[in-house]
Amino acid sequence: MMNKILVTVVVPMIEEEYDIYIPVSKIIDVAINLIVKTVNELSEGHYQIKQNPILMDSNGNAFVKGYTVKESGIKNGDKLILI
């Protein structure tokens, strides 16, 4: 899985966190959509898909859309927050 990294996604809205593999070559916008769909499935629908979700690092900084996951500096084992 050299082209994917494992991150922990914290979802405060449902007070859960999930370990998810994301592709490093995807644009952040696409990666966020993949994460949202995965969280919705893993939470069995408790996390409602909404428009314009925000993905932040553990310091509360939102990732800039338009960059790839790799360019954004997201690394294997990072904890991300989905708002």
pLDDT at 15: 97
Q: How many domains does the structure of the chain reveal? A: 1
Q: pTM above the 0.85 mark?
A: yes
Parent domain of 28 = 4-82
pLDDT at 65: 87
Give the CATH number of the domain where residue 26 resides: 3.10.20.90
Q: What is the mean pLDDT of each run of 10 residues along the chain (83 residues)?
A: 90 97 96 97 94 95 94 97 96
Contact 35/22 with Cβ under 8 angstroms?
yes
Token pair of 48, please? 């409602």
Among the listed residues 1, 3, 59, 64, the one whose alpha carbon sits nearest the alpha carbon of residue 29 = 64
Q: DSSP assignment of 9-76, as one string?
A: EEETTTTEEEEEEEETTSBHHHHHHHHHHHHHHHTTT-S---SS--EE-TTSPBPPTTSBTTTTT--T
